[in-house]
Amino acid sequence: MRIENCTIDDFNQITRDIIDFWGSDRTLSMHHPYLVYEFGNTAFVIRDSGVVIAYLFGFFSQTESVGYVHLIGVREHYQKQGLGELLYDNFIQLSRSKGIQKLKAVTTPTNTKSINFHQKKIGMTLLGLPNPEGINVIRGYSGPDKETVVFEKIL
């Protein structure tokens, strides 16, 4: 499968079909066209017959040597086929070529699917301290009193 930069048409397709990627529209507000317009060189898609089947929106920190994965989605019918890993591998290779030393991503403590994917498939570690459920979180990372799972991978 070929990884290409995301176009605005791809982005519009993703947001139109958001439920097919996420099972709900809970992440729709996190999708913004600036991810293509301003960070298009780190916004990637995989297509099948012109249909976006997987995507990764990332960018590079302006304050430290960090590549950040903001969103990664795979259409439900295409999950468990390694597409998420392919997109991450592509972003990691690009990050290394730019001298980036660390990769980060975040999720909520209740998103066990994301936690398992990032730990088991990508090899990321969870920063912070265990919450009452035993999941490492950083309190306040995403706002006052909010618990956030922060993943990190040294490149």
CA atoms of 134 and 146, how far apart (whole Å): 16
pLDDT digits 0-9 by tens, 69-117: 999 999 999 999 999 999 999 999 999 999 999 999 999 999 999 999 9
AA identity, residue 45:
V
**pTM value?**
0.95
The topology under which CATH files domain 1-100 is Aminopeptidase (3.40.630)
DSSP 43-95: EEEEEETTEEEEEEEEEE-SSSSEEEEEEEEE-GGGTTSSHHHHHHHHHHHHH
Q: What is the pLDDT of residue 36?
A: 98
- For the segment 133-146, the average pLDDT, to the nearest whole number, is 95
Question: What is the residue extent of each domain of the chain?
Answer: 1-100, 104-155
Q: What is the pLDDT of residue 1?
A: 79
pLDDT digits 0-9 by tens, 24-61: 999 999 999 999 999 999 999 999 999 999 999 999 99
